[in-house]
Amino acid sequence: MSDPSSPFGFELVRRGYDRGQVDDRITKLVADRDSALARITSLEKRIEELHLETQNAQAQVNDAEPSYAGLGARVEKILRLAEEEAKDLREEARRAAEQHRELAESAAQQVRNDAESFAADRKAKA
């Protein structure tokens, strides 16, 4: 005698598959898809927030150009060196932030692709 269930775990009944099992499975798949889409939306929102923070930080850096003209030559030189080091550190932080933003965008795109693929696969199987 043949196996009374499908490869997907649905039991065969007199007229096909058990509707309750199919409905439960579809409900779970829809919930999984909705959860993935909500995560994508959340990640996209976070990417935008980080992008705005980066722009604000860059604007603040560009606006802050102090003058040391009234100070002694040695103090001015020390402060200029400190300013250059700070500028280098800010640039390094900006590059790191950009790298993290790109990684986050890549992860969000991957999650989006996975969710769409998952939904399409489930629709095809349903």
| Domain span at 54 | 38-125
Give the mean model confidence (pLDDT) for residues 12-26: 80
Q: Is 62 inside any structural domain?
A: yes
pLDDT above 70 as % of the chain: 86
The CA distance from 71 to 63, in Å, is: 21
Is there a domain that residue 7 lies in?
Answer: no
Answer whether residue 12 is part of any domain.
no
- Tell me the residue type at 108: A
Enter the pTM of the model.
Answer: 0.39
pLDDT digits (tens, 9 = 90+) for 54-113: 998 888 877 766 666 666 788 878 888 899 999 999 999 889 888 988 988 888 899 888
Query: Looking at the 3D structure of the chain, how many domains does it have?
Result: 1
Radius of gyration of the chain (CA): 28
How many C-beta atoms surround the C-beta of residue 53 within 10 A? 12
Residue 47: which pLDDT band, with cuts at 50, 70 and 90? very high
* Strands (DSSP E) found in 1-121: 12-13, 16-17
Is residue 76 one of the residues assigned to a domain? Answer: yes
Whether 68 is in a domain gets the answer yes
Q: For residue 91, tell me if it sits in a domain.
A: yes
Q: What is the reported pLDDT for 20?
A: 83
Burial class (CB in 10 A: 0-12, 13-18, 19+), 94: middle
Which pLDDT score is estimated for 104?
87
